[in-house]
Structure 1
Amino acid sequence: MAQLDAQSAVATPLDSRSFSSVSKGYTIFNNHDILAAKITPCWENGKIGEASLTHPIGVGSTEFHVIRHGKSIDRRYLLHFLRRPEIRTAGQLRMTGSGGQRRVPASFIKELRIPLPPLDEQRRIAAILDQADAIRTKRRQQLNPLGELPGSLFWSNFSANYPIVRLEEVGTVQGGLQISRARAANPIEVPYLRVANVQRSNLDLSEIKLLRATDREITRTRLIAGDLLFVEGHASQFEVGRVSLWNGELRECVHQNHLIRFRASRRRLEPRFAEIWFNTQRGATHFRRAARTTSGLHTISATTVKSAPLPLPPIEIQRAFVERVEHINAQRSRVEAALACDDELFASLQSRAFKGEL
């Protein structure tokens, strides 16, 4: 399933084996057949694509439906039809089974009704959609290096040239407030941040919850602009320790105990500099190695945050680097906005194509 890219709509082979070793227990298909994931959440995620093989025949997961175009239909036209959001939604409604084992039945695909203009017209429509999709693909290819560039620049500039310090040497670490029913008796209601609010270098403030606290608790856990918030526990080892910067988005706000706050000594450390580092793959390695696993949850402690290693150039160099990264992020935002427009245009073309309006 991992070899089928939902964005490019192409399924590429992992490796080659003798047919006798894979003739049983796999789905068999031809090169250029269309593969559609049966199972949730792969179907909902748009795992539908064309097999692009190095041999005439391939095998793959039994969780694929195989769709082979006939003489009266162009395969690219058929693929674009099947990739429409309306088809995904309708297939989701027809799923059978329960929980993580829900699947789109073969009967759903067999019973789909598709507009069938002459082959030349199908090819013309498919060519328009292919071209629009190629523009989206090129735009996505621009995003990947922009996303990886800050981490790459950080490592090449600071890994060997400056001393490594522990985070506790350049600031203070503070745990948060535990959520419990006993808080109902406390005198003051205040907004608080939880794990869902703290993404990687991004705060999601679409839903802010409230808790009741004492004046002393609020004083201890109040957030101020420049605070860093580390995620203390997560089901994924790759998300534990992710960090985001608080810029004073709310006038008054505290944090719960599943977030660990770090407050930098601003004369020695630019908080955004630390945020960039700890959200790179190398910077996050400390938390992945130190995390403990209990009942499927990976957790770190305040001690883990205190001992986190950080390259420390002079403050002026930190600030210059942050400016450079902000420039890269501005470029990335412009590309993301253009990609959103491309996606909107492609969706419009898809809708019109199968209504006979192209």
Structure 2
Amino acid sequence: MSAVAVGRFISTKAKRRKLADVVRFVGGGTPSKGTAAFWGGNVPWVSPKDMKSDVISTSEDKITAAAIEGSATKWIPRDATLIVVRSGILARTVPVCIAGRDLTINQDLKALIPDKSLDPRYLFLFLKSREPELLESVTSSATVHRISTVTLESLEITLPALDEQKRIVAVLDQAFAALDRARANADANVADAKQFMESYVERQLAKSMGAVVTLQELLDTGAIVSHLDGNHGSEYPRKDEFVTEGVPYISANCIDGNEIDFDRAKYLTPERAARIRKGIARDRDVLFAHNATVGPVVLLRTDYEAVILSTSLTYYRCESTKIVPEFLVYEMRGAGFRRQYEAVMKQATRSQVPITAQRKFVHTIPSVAIQRELAEKCSEVEKFSSELARKYAAQLDDLAALRQSLLQKAFAGELS
């Protein structure tokens, strides 16, 4: 069946039904965290953080059969469609998956179990096609975003005969397979653009004849005058202490490409900020994201006298007559530095590179004249690399938009 036939069939012959008429809605639950016998089993317990693929058969958290018997959690059959109905992620997307096996879900999800008139994958694709409408229906409070069950139940689905549903699914799957191949190519191109920059830095450092020294040695000789993170201990700010303006308090999520986006920052009053004694960065410090989001390196440019770092950031303060901060940024964006922090993370249970580990890392430091020359060269190459990355990212956006357009037109009978 062609795409034209999909549209023509849906628009001329099929009946429209509300989901409530052809789907059974089942909610989830959370077994008691205080009952050890409920956790660590082999039953997937799916929550929003697991909803990352079309078909889901496992989860980060697992429960036992005893948990199902002793809580509100229910078995969800294979081929049910799972949808997130309560989560902050609903501010930007509506995750939908198909259960690849019998499993359980938490209360932030709904399972839609189709009757015999509705093909499971046809239902799944239908819900994907309605994402824009569902996003508009999301309600939010200070802490959570929601899609109501009533909204889902009232959605109208065009329901051709079962064999026609399967053929429509086959047509769309074939089209999506081609889009997935194109996306894989675009993803690879984005990765290649990033890798190109890393490799360029590594080649230039190898030719620089620079001294290979540890960060601790750089601290001992005064080339790096200070190296601290935002571990504030008992002075860590509480949520209710942040204000709309004042002294900026930044974390790794404030890094936007090659700069800090202060629109994403939190703020403390000068009086509250004065109680914090460490992890205070200033203009031209080099910042490294070392916790949770590990890897981004950026040069801090700011008019603020002080910028307080969260626990996810470390600053490197250079003695500029010995180390040019712009050079250090590119040196730390190179493949050699990345391999060192990745090796640390492989040995840990968390995505974290402690400050003590950072001080054992080696850096290649040539003369100041060569540092300046390399920084200028890397800046030019980075512009080229960034432009390539933007081009390929735009291709990814176009592919995502085309996929959504195909879905919407297929279920609206508009393909022609």
Tell whether the 8 Å contact from 1:194 to 1:255 is kept in structure 2 after alignment. no
Offset of residue 150 of structure 1: 8.1
The correspondence for 2:180, drawn from 107, 126, 134, is: 134
Give the match's secondary structure for 1:100: coil
Runs of 4 or more off by more than 6 Å in structure 1?
Answer: 15-19, 150-155, 284-287
**Equivalence for 1:106:** 149
**Equivalence for 2:56:** 11
Q: Distance in 2 between matches of 1:343 and 1:59?
A: 30
What letter corresponds to residue 170 of structure 1 in structure 2? Answer: A
Q: Distance in 2 between matches of 1:9 and 1:133?
A: 15
What letter corresponds to residue 184 of structure 2 in structure 1? Answer: K
Aligned positions of 1:210-221 closer than 5 A: none
Gaps of 5+ in 2: 1-46, 229-246, 266-280, 310-314, 346-351
Aligned positions of 1:19-30 closer than 5 A: 20-24=65-69, 25=71, 26-30=73-77
Offset of residue 314 of structure 1: 3.5
The correspondence for 1:273, drawn from 323, 330, 353, is: 330
The correspondence for 2:106, drawn from 61, 68, 89, is: 61
What letter corresponds to residue 289 of structure 1 in structure 2? Answer: P
The correspondence for 1:78, drawn from 109, 123, 138, is: 123
Q: Distance in 1 between matches of 2:114 and 2:86?
A: 22
Offset of residue 256 of structure 1: 3.3
Tell whether the 8 Å contact from 2:94 to 2:134 is kept in structure 1 after alignment. yes
**Equivalence for 1:314:** 366
Distance 1:49 1:140, change over 3 A: farther
Give the match's secondary structure for 1:89: helix
Q: Distance in 2 between matches of 1:143 and 1:206?
A: 30
Q: Which TM-score applies when normalising by structure 1?
A: 0.60
Give the match's secondary structure for 1:72: coil
**Equivalence for 1:258:** 308
What letter corresponds to residue 258 of structure 1 in structure 2? Answer: I
**Equivalence for 2:214:** 164
Q: Which TM-score applies when normalising by structure 2?
A: 0.53
What letter corresponds to residue 11 of structure 1 in structure 2? Answer: I
Give the match's secondary structure for 2:123: helix
Q: Distance in 2 between matches of 1:13 and 1:128?
A: 26
Aligned positions of 1:230-241 closer than 5 A: 230=287, 237-238=291-292
Report whether the alignment pairs 1:115 with 2:167: no
**Equivalence for 2:86:** 39
Give the match's secondary structure for 1:343: helix
Q: Distance in 2 between matches of 1:208 and 1:60?
A: 33
What letter corresponds to residue 195 of structure 1 in structure 2? Answer: I
Give the match's secondary structure for 2:176: helix
Q: Distance in 2 between matches of 1:262 and 1:351?
A: 53
Distance 1:165 1:40, change over 3 A: closer
Tell whether the 8 Å contact from 1:35 to 1:64 is kept in structure 2 after alignment. yes
Offset of residue 66 of structure 1: 0.9
Q: Distance in 1 between matches of 2:409 and 2:264?
A: 40
* Matched pairs, number: 301
Give the match's secondary structure for 2:114: coil
What letter corresponds to residue 60 of structure 1 in structure 2? Answer: I
Q: Distance in 2 between matches of 1:266 and 1:129?
A: 59
Q: Distance in 2 between matches of 1:78 and 1:136?
A: 25
CA offsets 1:274-323 (integer angstroms, 9 cap, x no match): 442698485597985349xxxxxxxxxxxx99x68542253669949958
Distance 1:222 1:138, change over 3 A: closer
Offset of residue 47 of structure 1: 2.2
Offset of residue 339 of structure 1: 0.7
The alignment-based identity, stated in percent, is 15
Q: Report the more deviating stretch, 75-84 or 124-133.
A: 124-133
CA offsets 1:42-100 (integer angstroms, 9 cap, x no match): 444422111223xxx2223343211123343333332222123324314413x7xx543
CA offsets 1:140-192 (integer angstroms, 9 cap, x no match): 7527855985899799x99xx932134543355599xxxxxxxxxxxxxxxx9
Offset of residue 332 of structure 1: 3.8
Give the match's secondary structure for 1:73: coil
Superposed CA RMSD in Å reads 5.2
Give the match's secondary structure for 2:104: strand
Tell whether the 8 Å contact from 1:229 to 1:261 is kept in structure 2 after alignment. yes
**Equivalence for 1:245:** 299
Gaps of 5+ in 1: 176-191, 210-220, 292-303
Give the match's secondary structure for 1:28: coil
Q: Report the more deviating stretch, 164-173 or 331-340.
A: 164-173
Q: Distance in 2 between matches of 1:112 and 1:222?
A: 53
Larger RCO, structures 1/2 (Cα 8 Å, 6+ apart): 2
Distance 1:32 1:322, change over 3 A: farther
Give the match's secondary structure for 1:114: strand
Tell whether the 8 Å contact from 2:55 to 2:97 is kept in structure 1 after alignment. yes
Q: Distance in 1 between matches of 2:94 and 2:321?
A: 46
